[in-house]
Amino acid sequence: MIFAVWRRVPQKVVVTFFCGICFFGLLGIGAAQAPEDPRFYISMDFDNGIVPPLPEQVVQALPILWDRIITQQARASMPKNIKPMALLRRIQPQQQGSVIEFNAARVWARLEKDHIPHIRSITAFNLKLEMSNAFGSRMTSSERDLLAFIQQKSSGLGIQTQLSAPLLAIRVQWLGDTQVQVSVRGQSRLEEFSERRVLQAGNPFLQIETWLIQILMRARDAYQWKPEAVLSPSQQAALAGSPSLQLLIKQQATLSEQITLETALQADTRVQSVTPTYLNHYSQAYRIQLKQIDDRWLLDWFAKRGMHAARHEQGWLIQ
């Protein structure tokens, strides 16, 4: 690809281009390949006509990346000694700026080294929004405007909206001129909640937009990456040979009830590990690693807790 570019430009431009590469070291200028993770591609546009030098653009792009992949709680305490150029993969200059791609492997390695909470995989939701006035009538025009606002902001939050993703349903019910009821349910890892909020003076929809962004970031941060525990060689060998299966529990459960069940499973001597894959009030899913192939004991285990267990395609369905 690089040679194809060189053959289309005059020789003196090639020399200048090569010197630029020498000057910037790790800086690679060329057409980027199709992105694997769009969060690592930052488009820098300077409409005022004042385009900073490329290294300065990289410095300005790094906080944008942090906004997409670092949890809200950790965002304010990011180390100041991280060098943006050390995390760079390539830059594609444009007329009013550039497209900057950061090296995902280097970024993850640095965040893991510094124990910085982050979201390793891009988070997607099947977002549903419903807004009703104080009389219970749907406010469809406002719903469309708010959904368009979320679509506009989603890339900056490091999230995607997809029909095939876990459901995240947000309902905003007006209770009067100054109060609304905000409810959240669905199949994401964000625990369902419903709370009354008071609107301050000013444009109420600007405040609702802020609340929606906060909810989306809470839902995103629920997918915070957690490192695997360090195992000894004998533990790794035992774990590699142990069976893994899925548990899908179709039953309403509060957070404390979910924790109690998960703790009881983890404490069973036949279980190697229990990993939640999604949790909400109406259903929960876990991946469990067993120490033995025989999993028939799960029938009695759940029966003693008033639940019925039956096999399904990937494991067990619990009701």
> Are the CB atoms for 298 and 274 separated by under 8 Å?
no
Kindly state the helix (H) or strand (E) to which residue 89 belongs, with its residue range. Answer: strand 88-94
> Are the CB atoms for 170 and 126 separated by under 8 Å?
no
Strand partners, 285: 248, 278
Least confident of 88-102, 205-219, 227-241, 283-297: 227-241
End-to-end Cα spacing for the chain: 56
**Per-residue CA distances from 85 to 35, 59, 88, 241, 242 (Å):** 19, 8, 5, 42, 43
φ and ψ at residue 14, rounded to 5 degrees: -60, -45
**Per-residue CA distances from 40 to 90, 163, 283 (Å):** 11, 23, 33
**Per-residue CA distances from 185 to 12, 232, 288 (Å):** 61, 40, 25
Cα 183 to Cα 194: distance, rounded to the nearest angstrom: 4
pLDDT in tens, 180-233: 999 998 888 888 888 899 999 889 999 999 999 999 999 999 888 876 544 455
Residue 87: DSSP 8-state: G
Kindly state the helix (H) or strand (E) to which residue 212 belongs, with its residue range. Answer: helix 204-221
Kindly state the helix (H) or strand (E) to which residue 147 belongs, with its residue range. Answer: helix 140-157
- In this prediction, what percent of the chain has a pLDDT beyond 70? 82
Q: pTM of the entire structure? A: 0.63
Between the ranges 112-121, 220-229, 278-287, where is the mean pLDDT highest? 112-121
Cα 231 to Cα 239: distance, rounded to the nearest angstrom: 9
**Which residue has 């009030």 as its token pair?**
281
pLDDT in tens, 131-185: 999 999 999 999 999 999 999 999 999 999 988 888 999 999 999 888 999 999 8
Q: Which residue has the higher pLDDT, 275 or 210?
A: 210
**Which residue has 């104080």 as its token pair?**
134
Q: For residue 233, what pLDDT is reported?
A: 55
φ and ψ at residue 223, rounded to 5 degrees: -100, 25
